[in-house]
Amino acid sequence: MHVPDGFLGPQTYLPAYGVAAAAWTFGLRRLRARLDAATLPRLAVVTATAFVLMMITVPLPGGTTVHVAGIGMLAVLFGVWNAFLSLSLVFLLQALMFGDGGVTALPVNALAMGLVGSLAAVGAHRLLRPVNRDAALFAAGWAGTVASATLMAGVLGLQPLLSRAPDGSPLFFPFGWKTTLPAVVLPHLAVGVADGVLALLAGRCLAPRPATAAPPPGPEAP
Amino acid sequence: MRDRALLLLYLGAIVAATFVHDPARLAAALAAVLLASGRRAPRVLARASRAAAPFAAAVSLGWLAASWWEQRPAGAALLRLNLRVLLMTSLTFALAARLDLQRALGFSRTLRFALVLTVSQVLTFRRLHADFRLALLSRSPRRVSTAASLRHGAAAGAWFLRRAEHDAAEIAQALDARGFFLDRR
């Protein structure tokens, strides 16, 4: 879902950096204030897991593939701000080490998937938890993915309105909302199901526990 | 210091690339990046093309089809878009070989620590993911079916979750045993 470099204009990514910088500062201060022996290693390892889960592609009919993002999983396990920091770190590493995503797209990706996606996931989880714990976990994964895809489609569709050449041709991403909303959001309604299953699995087997507990045995390879 | 300066230079170049809209200048900048990469230029270009291709090709083909349908020229916009994407991705790969990210982001101890832990886990998990994919291919005499791909993805995903649980507990205990958190309490 995340956008590479070159598709977002400075009218979008410069203000987005301003908002994201404020959010990163707040999140880092919050993390440092609550840092203990369990939090940071767990956050780092689950960040790496989110990174590798994004590499596992799910085949779709027609030859295309999609991948889960783990937004709901991170938000439910670590809360909104830690999930935001964790996903921002994933996007930074993907952009600088592997050329996936990009530095100009980083704040938009981080805000859409890390912050808005996490807020939607935690909101859905809190709303449904009193009714059914499993349904709440699944809804968190689904809502996180769909909310961030909707925001991303909105930002992409804004580009032709913000920057055009004198001849009227688009300077960055060329399609408007009429194209981006169905093209981005509809497939993510299905991807959200995979993310919902992931959040459900993770919520059951990765619930935070004290750092003094013995580590569980390593798993066997699939 | 060198890494931080390199990162700032890269960020400046990336931002500058979004303010240039003339395809000739974008092409000249791309040529300059490749020249500066020296013998690594073909590799940088190949990696950048591979990384940018999926999204750029989907957008370009869509725009080409829409332009053909509406009978308007698409060449200049497509050339500008693809040259810019290729320039920015090439800049990233040209930098990646020279930059020590942990040193460049060393202004925050917490951030550097999280980065070291995360990168070490990412590199391990990436290798394991590639191993699992190769194992699936080697035990499949024919092209891997969609159902087999789905089963493999689910099994690998569940494996990584269990492995994450194991590694997080192990790292936390190792850090605690070495007194990492003592100076923070």
| B26–chain A Cβ distance below 8 A for any pair | no
Of B92, B131, B160, the CB nearest to A49: B160
Task: For residue B179, give the amino acid letter.
Answer: G
Residue closest to A53 by CA, chosen among B162, B148, B170, B49: B162
C-alpha distances in Å from residue A161, one per residue of A31, A186, B78, B153: 38, 23, 17, 39
Helix (H, G, I), strand (E, B) or coil at B55: helix
C-alpha distances in Å from residue A81, one per residue of A84, A97, A141: 5, 24, 16
Mean pLDDT of B79-93: 91
Residue spans of the domains in chain B: they are 2-101, 106-184
CA of B33 to nearest chain A CA: how many angstroms apart?
15
Name which of A5-14, A114-123, B68-77, B78-87 the model is least confident about: B68-77
Tens-digit pLDDT profile for chain A (222 aa)?
567 888 899 999 999 999 999 999 998 888 777 766 677 787 788 788 888 877 766 655 544 556 778 888 889 888 899 889 888 988 888 888 777 778 899 999 999 999 999 999 999 999 999 999 999 999 999 999 999 999 999 999 999 999 888 888 888 988 889 988 998 888 889 888 888 988 888 777 665 554 444 555 566 666
Q: Name chain A contacts of B12, Cβ cutoff 8 Å.
A: none
Q: How far apart are CA B180 and CA B46, in angstroms?
A: 42
Q: How far apart are CA A192 and CA A58, in angstroms?
A: 12
Residue closest to A71 by CA, chosen among A56, A93, A86, A55: A86
The confidence score (pLDDT) of residue A121 equals: 95
CA B182 to chain CA mean position, Å? 35
Reading the block at residue B119, the tokens are: 């990168």
Indicate if ipTM > 0.90.
no
Task: Check CB contact under 8 Å for A93 and B85.
Answer: no
pLDDT in tens, B108-131: 777 777 788 888 888 888 899 889
Task: Check CB contact under 8 Å for B165 and A205.
Answer: yes
Reading the block at residue A176, the tokens are: 């408007």
Task: For residue A146, give the amino acid letter.
Answer: V
Topology of domain A10-205 in CATH is: Arp2/3 complex 21 kDa subunit ARPC3 (1.10.1760)
Task: Check CB contact under 8 Å for B51 and A4.
Answer: yes
Q: Would you put residue A68 in left (φ > 0), alpha (ψ -120 to 50) or beta?
A: beta
Reading the block at residue B45, the tokens are: 């270009």
Task: For residue B141, give the amino acid letter.
Answer: P
Q: Which CB contacts under 8 angstroms, 24+ apart, belong to B39-45?
A: B40/B94, B40/B97, B43/B93, B44/B90, B44/B93, B44/B94, B45/B86, B45/B90
